[in-house]
Amino acid sequence: AAGVIQSPRHLIKEKRETATLKCYPIPRHDTVYWYQQGPGQDPQFLISFYEKMQSDKGSIPDRFSAQQFSDYHSELNMSSLELGDSALYFCASSSPLRARNTGELFFGEGSRLTVL
């Protein structure tokens, strides 16, 4: 079965640079979520999109932005990178019906960003 695809899997950037992470949800899933997981930390919710519109906002820094495109894939753009941005970034997808019934999100394998 198709899963959530994230790219790149690993990314190394320097401070003050910009990075873009991509997420391709499971087919027919129209809701995408972004989480940030620092070393030894819990996954923190950043932002979510439903039908290409932002639906919820969590602890996403102002330096970050995201959007969902017409094919439902999503991109997380991070600018002016800081050392503290080094983390594993997860994307998850769901369909509203499934979310209402079980709250289940389907996670990708994550993109590991290292800021030097």
Partner 1 sequence: GEDVEQSLFLSVREGDSSVINCTYTDSSSTYLYWYKQEPGAGLQLLTYIFSNMDMKQDQRLTVLLNKKDKHLSLRIADTQTGDSAIYFCAESISGGSYIPTFGRGTSLIVHP
Residue ranges in contact with partner 1 by CB under 8 A: 4, 31, 33, 40-45, 48, 50, 55-56, 58, 90, 92, 99-100, 102-110
Q: How far apart are CA 115 and CA 44, in angstroms?
A: 18
Closest separation in Å from C-beta 47 to partner 1:
10
Which CB sits closer to partner 1, 4 or 16? Answer: 4
8-39: string of b/e by CB count within 10 Å (b at 16+)? Answer: eeebebeeeeebebebbbbeebebbbbbbeee
Cβ proximity to partner 1: between 27 and 40 the closer is: 40
- Our CB check for partner 1 shows the closer of 5 and 79 to be 5
Shortest distance, CB of residue 70 to partner 1, whole angstroms? 21
Measured from the CB of residue 43, what is the shortest distance to partner 1 in angstroms?
Answer: 5
DSSP 3-state of 47: strand
Q: How many residues does the chain have?
A: 116
